[in-house]
Structure 1
């Protein structure tokens, strides 16, 4: 009897342990599944993200031998900012990307902050002599924290590649530009000044931009500075860029200067402003009409949304029409390190084409998605002259997957009302965006778009941008990719980019007027296929 009782107790114990293990396994499986599901819910279909870990600013972008190269600020050991490396990815069309091994690692001079890379076709640097290769020369900021302090020593260093940017060798005489005085002294962007046949570099230095030149990419001469008391100064200046653009429809050309700023953006946190003027090889001078307009109202930003920062152009990639190509980091320092992804953090914007126009409003950049994106169009929905009454459904994901789509629309004969587009799901999440023709402002409202509580700054306000066009019709292009929206209004005259984190995919698009019906002249929706 005692033996039977003992066996019974043992059987119960085995059953309990087995049940407990099974329960633990199921709980673990659920946790893994939820984690995986969330990661895949939020990872974009076609915007570049690293496979794992933290990413911020785009760096060293150049085009050579059929490939667009993208380097980026990368912390491979964590999903938050830390010791910076240069991550690396390549693409043949700036849309689909292949991630490659880390290109540049920290060294005794410090971690590897932002910078640029150029194709030294004439081998002016001499770095290509040994292998008879055309060298790729990268210039970046070495940043080292001074022991026992919160201060950093920031200097400019050089590395070169003779295998088309796959691997780099550090220059033996680094730093190429030393610094013991300026606290924020970083982000060199090098460009070739064809008219004067020399290399020119712009460098962020606290509250201004410094200009340097060089004949060999090794020895640099300080020329001038620009920016003190000019434009936005709500935070430190960073990640400059300088390039020349033709003015559309004219024989004229102007120089464009990008300056990123954090904080101080038009809707809070980080953003990138621009200046139009002339560069004589030594000094950048703003165009007088542009300066007058800037002083009246500073609305010269490459993107008014909260999620496009540190954008710079590709070297060696000017289009036949003279336009430049650029890319930005699709996040904001206000909340980038706490967004609800764990395996990876941050994405890049869609690649964009930059042009310059002049009209009654003076000089203004036009920024639009690169044409290569149209090669991925598949299923199309097109409709004209839709009467919009109250909340009018346009389409849902049963017809076209709105998690990967390009939308073009036109609204003729604007009325004094608010035109609201709404992306929503059955859980009640909704992203609102559109145009308020009473206040003459575009807007994005992500207050009810899903997960927002991870940061009090993420959805604390509605982002807006003043319309500069006087056209009585409104046109726009919308790029949707799971958790991001990129809006290009009035042929790219006003751009807004923002990210969001719905609890399930936003799968319905509707439009509503505030107080009166209107005609949606045309809407065309293309599914973007990346399988």
Structure 2
């Protein structure tokens, strides 16, 4: 009898990971079966919200970058489409933005047409004539974003830099205005501001930074006006993501409030403190990065979305076949706090169908002497739990996910992350959103937020308040 031949171990493919449909969120966008990271090209046009995103269309870890594409009419139900701008052997398609060129300044549109124009970073490969260079390029669509054509004159802005990326472009100044681009020199921790009459020819206007958190590369800037609630006054907000070196470790997103005159951004408050806690952060959790806002949202609303992950462990999160999700869309406002500082508030856009996710509204005692645990769990004692501690003496809120379910897939994942209570009032109001593997906590009407990935063994469906003792 002939023995069954032994297949060499090196030739045996590892088994495919088990699918994890129980971890796929319903209101947080995920790609169908591939990897995603930064949101790109956020645009509202003709009644449709467009979400483009960094996408490895060939796998579920970071790889060759293209622009994926999804659309929505309500900001919570998303339909994924074919890849919009695909990578080539010479060019990876890194982050950027999209605009509706309603004045046809670039000349891409014919009679009766409106061109949607994507402004993205060409990350040139070793197979190109610009190996290692990052420069800004254009693609345009004449059919409402379905198909895209690269501009033959790309790149339109090339400084020869290897770290010049992530252009956010918007129109400034009415009919006599011009296009403004904010991008970054990532390693220099600088935001660079350019202007253009036509999206094709760009002039450097100013630079901002380094400032505040500079422990990692600056990425994915955004610049936009916000009205100060109840005043009729307007300020400008400059958003800058940072990796690593954020408040909770790894990736995060900070912001500055100030003024913009069409050429230069000047912050209203710039601290010389070396402490990260003295800066302004859009989110104090581990999983909110590369946040940018939609261009042309209706009624002047400022709507923002971020990547709900962290570069510390993003390639290792235990989902399959998809990996990574977006945050909920958030509406931003500016409020002046009791200490006189202008800060951003964020309100989640939630589905009207409450069965799609768990939303808990909780009032938590937070006067001096109060220390309370808000415990999220399930009927299964082994299913995992989240403990959110509100400390009235320390004026802090801490989200502990160390017992939330699967936490050992990466040594950096298990964490307890702390944010300040910025409101002087008591009790503290928490809106807690649980959507399978994403947790978002909105504190005091969104004055503070914490976004965390979680991988519970069973859905978290219960909440209870318990007195807490200092650890």
- Would the aligned equivalents of 1:113 and 1:141 in 2 still touch at CA under 8 Å? yes
1:194 is matched with 173
Q: Aligned partners of 2:377 and 2:332: how far apart in 1?
A: 31
Pairwise mapping of residues 85-96 of structure 1 onto structure 2 (< 5 A)?
85-96=66-77
2:6 is matched with none
1:445 is matched with 400
Pairing 1:35–2:18 present: yes
1:407 is matched with 360
Unpaired runs of 5+ residues, structure 1, are 1-30, 379-402, 517-531
Bigger radius of gyration, 1 or 2? 1
1:417 is matched with 370
Residues 448 and 154 (structure 1 numbering): CA distance in 2 closer, same or farther, change over 3 Å?
same
- 2:439 is aligned, of 479, 482, 485, to 485
- Would the aligned equivalents of 1:88 and 1:102 in 2 still touch at CA under 8 Å? yes
Q: Secondary structure at the match of 2:407?
A: coil
Pairwise mapping of residues 61-72 of structure 1 onto structure 2 (< 5 A)?
61-72=42-53
Q: Aligned partners of 1:414 and 1:435: how far apart in 2?
A: 10
- 1:308 is aligned, of 263, 288, 291, to 288
- 1:210 is aligned, of 192, 203, 221, to 192
1:503 is matched with 457
Pairing 1:146–2:126 present: yes
Structure 1 segments, 4+ long, off by >4 Å, are: 292-297
Residues 512 and 468 (structure 1 numbering): CA distance in 2 closer, same or farther, change over 3 Å?
same
Q: Aligned partners of 1:134 and 1:251: how far apart in 2?
A: 33
Residues 295 and 447 (structure 1 numbering): CA distance in 2 closer, same or farther, change over 3 Å?
closer
User: What is the Cα deviation at residue 424 of structure 1?
Assistant: 2.1
- For residues 211-250 of structure 1, what are the alpha-carbon distances to aligned partners after superposition, in whole Å with 9 as ceiling and x for unaligned? 000111111111111012x110110000000101111111
User: What is the Cα deviation at residue 281 of structure 1?
Assistant: 1.3
- Would the aligned equivalents of 1:246 and 1:323 in 2 still touch at CA under 8 Å? no
- Would the aligned equivalents of 2:212 and 2:270 in 1 still touch at CA under 8 Å? no
Pairing 1:157–2:149 present: no
- Would the aligned equivalents of 2:68 and 2:83 in 1 still touch at CA under 8 Å? yes
Larger helix proportion of the pair: 1
1:291 is matched with 270
RMSD between superposed Cα atoms in Å:
2.2
With normalisation by structure 2, the TM-score equals 0.91
- Would the aligned equivalents of 2:212 and 2:272 in 1 still touch at CA under 8 Å? no
With normalisation by structure 1, the TM-score equals 0.81
Q: Secondary structure at the match of 1:41?
A: helix
- For residues 109-165 of structure 1, what are the alpha-carbon distances to aligned partners after superposition, in whole Å with 9 as ceiling and x for unaligned? 511000000011111111112x531110100001023369xx821111000100111
Q: Secondary structure at the match of 2:352?
A: helix
- 2:163 is aligned, of 180, 184, 188, to 184
1:388 is matched with none
- Would the aligned equivalents of 2:366 and 2:391 in 1 still touch at CA under 8 Å? no
- Would the aligned equivalents of 1:330 and 1:346 in 2 still touch at CA under 8 Å? yes
Unpaired runs of 5+ residues, structure 2, are 1-14
Pairwise mapping of residues 10-409 of structure 1 onto structure 2 (< 5 A)?
35-36=18-19, 39-107=20-88, 109-129=90-110, 132-146=112-126, 152-180=132-160, 182-194=161-173, 197-206=177-186, 207-228=189-210, 230-287=211-268, 290-292=269-271, 298-317=278-297, 319-320=298-299, 322-361=300-339, 362-370=341-349, 373=350, 375-377=352-354, 404-409=357-362
Pairing 1:455–2:410 present: yes
- For residues 417-476 of structure 1, what are the alpha-carbon distances to aligned partners after superposition, in whole Å with 9 as ceiling and x for unaligned? 3211112242432111131222211111111111111100001x3100112211122112
User: What is the Cα deviation at residue 484 of structure 1?
Assistant: 1.4
Number of equivalences: 449
User: What is the Cα deviation at residue 88 of structure 1?
Assistant: 0.4
Q: Secondary structure at the match of 1:337?
A: helix
Residues 257 and 41 (structure 1 numbering): CA distance in 2 closer, same or farther, change over 3 Å?
same
Q: Secondary structure at the match of 1:501?
A: coil
1:514 is matched with 468
Q: Secondary structure at the match of 1:152?
A: coil
Q: Aligned partners of 1:312 and 1:490: how far apart in 2?
A: 23
User: What is the Cα deviation at residue 299 of structure 1?
Assistant: 3.3
Greater CA deviation, 68-77 or 196-205?
A: 196-205
Residues 173 and 241 (structure 1 numbering): CA distance in 2 closer, same or farther, change over 3 Å?
same
